[in-house]
A and B are shown apart, each in its own frame.
Chain A
Amino acid sequence: MGKQGGRGWTLGLAGLLSPVTIWLGLFFLVPLLLILAYSFGKSGIYGGITLGFFPGNYLKVFDPLYLEIILRTLVIAVLNTLLCLLIGYPLAYFITFKGGRHKHTLILLVMIPFWTSLLLRAYAWVVILGGDNGIANRILQFLHLTDHPLTLIFTPQAVIMGMVYSYLPFMILPLYAALEKFDWRLKEAAQDLGASRWHTFWRVTFPLSLPGVIAGSILVFIPSAGEFVIPNLLGGARTVMVGNLIQQQFLQARDWAFGSALAVMLAVLLVGAIMFYVRKVGADKLEEV
């Protein structure tokens, strides 16, 4: 797109980047700086903040109670990402390669449930998984997979299931975007040359879909860490995640300074992890085609 450093190049880059720079610069970075300032401030008893330099908020993060919550959150986020990948990839693969002219419909069908309120769908899951005579228990017993009712809802497992349920589209859409672009005749060609299906998949398809895998992982992992609705609705509020904690600090505890410090630490931790992950998997190399 023009020689690097040339005028056309600079104009092109500036043109492409100016909208996001203005929008995120104003409406994200400035508020972020505000939060950074808050994290060093002192919380009023009833909320509000006096600005200053009180790094104690960050020291508070290292209380074992909070570290445990952060660790739990990271574990759940990683599990969530892995499960979304395991479940989402085959579906994206199916839609892309077996969907044919129904591809677009199939993708839209994935999204439609997510246009109803999460609250309603969570309540529905309580109905499905709940109770000794609930739908799930009855099916499990009918299939003779168990001989007595199980406690399925309001458990950490229910939280993870709820997270996967909530974040699946965030994995499926980027995977679809990445898989859809390449010429599947490449795949057929490899198979014609004698490669087995598995071989073709692992050596041809999967590597080429890697940008999609990375994008999906990021879009699932990062927001998972900030989740607070699902642990409450499906976990009986007993699986405390850092999203719940930060919410609580801003609202019930009215400790905006500590809440801000938690948020900043979370951001630094996660963005750092992502940058490391992206670099390690070498995604940027794939872009220089």
Chain B
Amino acid sequence: MGDAKGGPVYHGLRKLPDRVLFIFAGLVYLFLYAPIMVLIFFSFNSTKNTQVWTGFSTQWYGALIRDGSVLNAFRLSLTVGLTATAIATVIGTFTALALSRYEFRGKTFADSAIYAATVMPEIVVGVSLLVFFVAATIPLGLVTIIIAHVAFCISFVTIVVRARLSGMDRSIEEAAQDLGANPVQTFLRVTLPLILPGVMAGALLAFTLSFDDFVITFFVAGVGSSTLPLKIYSMIKFGVSPVINALSTVVMVSTMILILGGGRILARRQENAS
């Protein structure tokens, strides 16, 4: 019959197809993390080389702490990423709702505009946005970066949330409304919880896009707005220092701890509530 909790991990792995699936998933994770392991490895390199191992040293972790520019860049990227993600997720979700539930004149145009926003090469968006900001006398800085990031993230969130909305059973919403809930209440109490995994997926995608964006950010950044990618890509000419590997390792390990720890707390809550 199946577990009411939604299927624990090892249930049903007795069957061969499930085992194959499990191994396949493991291989995919290995594929995703293989370069990460190499990256962490080279954060302990004894010379300024990210591809040739010369010996063990923790010097780059010390350099990371002392080098203000790298940590500052990281802080800026995080700020921009979180803010842009929040805004883009809200706007993108609203847009997805509008496009998937309404038929209206100009819908085809709206659809194309959303797709077109994902198609434009970064250099084109970057240069044209810069020209626009300058013409509109908007001062360059973190704000312009956030504006640009939101602009290219909205479409991604919209498309992901629409995938969630497609074919969704509206009867619960209609029932809520029949029972007297107004549209806002229906949205917050019924719709949003149902589409939340889609919204979170969109938000994750938006953050990922924003955090590592280089070209667009470069053009619309102002003084003192050097995000992490700006710092890193500028290192190509004279050599990417393992300081960046050290930073990435620290970030990754802390995020893992947060997520695995958080996941365990959530899972325990679910159990306790049963």
Contact = CB atoms under 8 A, between A and B. Distances in A.
Interface of A: 1-2, 4, 8-9, 12-13, 15-17, 19-20, 23-24, 27-32, 34-35, 38, 87, 90-91, 93-95, 97-105, 107-128, 130, 135, 165, 168-170, 173-178, 180-182, 184-185, 188, 197, 208, 210-212, 214-216, 218-219, 222-223, 225-226, 228, 243, 246-247, 250-251, 256, 259-260, 263, 266-267, 270-271, 274-275, 278, 283, 286-287, 289
A168 B208 CA distance: 12
Contact of A274 (B36, B115, B120): B115
B58 interface: no
* 3 nearest A-B pairs in the assembled complex, by CB-CB distance: A124-B35, A211-B166, A31-B128
Contacts of B155: 24
A35 B117 CA distance: 13
B272 interface: no
B163 A98 contact: no
Contact of A121 (B39, B98, B154, B270): B39
Given A98-B7, A115-B255, A215-B159, A177 B202 contact: yes
A188 B160 contact: no
B91 A259 contact: no
Contacts of A211: 162-164, 166-167
Interface of B: 1-3, 5-9, 11-13, 17-18, 21-22, 24-25, 28-29, 31-36, 38-39, 42, 50-51, 90-92, 94-95, 97-98, 100-104, 108, 110-125, 127-129, 131-132, 147-148, 150-152, 154-156, 158-170, 183, 194-195, 197-198, 201-202, 204-205, 207-208, 211-212, 215, 228-229, 232-233, 236, 240, 244-245, 248, 251-252, 255-256, 259-260, 263, 266-267, 270
Nearest to B191: A1
B154 A222 contact: no
Contacts of A165: 31-32, 35
A250 B35 contact: no
A226 B156 contact: no
B204 A101 contact: no
Nearest to A116: B248
Contacts of B236: 119
A250 B24 contact: no
B247 to A, nearest CB: 9
Given A23-B154, A104-B263, A267 B120 contact: yes
Contacts of B118: 218-219, 222-223
Contacts of A226: 119-122
A288 B39 CA distance: 47
By secondary structure, the B interface counts as helix
A271 B160 contact: no
Contact of A177 (B24, B128, B161): B161
B163 A101 contact: no
Contact of B212 (A32, A114, A267): A114
B151 A27 contact: yes
Nearest to B236: A119
B5 A100 contact: yes
Contacts of A188: 1-2
B98 A13 contact: yes
A282 to B, nearest CB: 11
A226 B25 CA distance: 29
A259 B123 contact: yes
Given A16-B95, A174-B163, 13 more contacts: A20-B154, A27-B132, A28-B113, A94-B21, A98-B21, A99-B9, A107-B204, A124-B38, A177-B161, A181-B198, A250-B124, A289-B167, A289-B169
B201 A173 contact: yes
B125 A177 contact: no
A289 B39 contact: no
Nearest to B100: A287
Contact of B183 (A1, A114, A117): A1
Contacts of B125: 28, 31
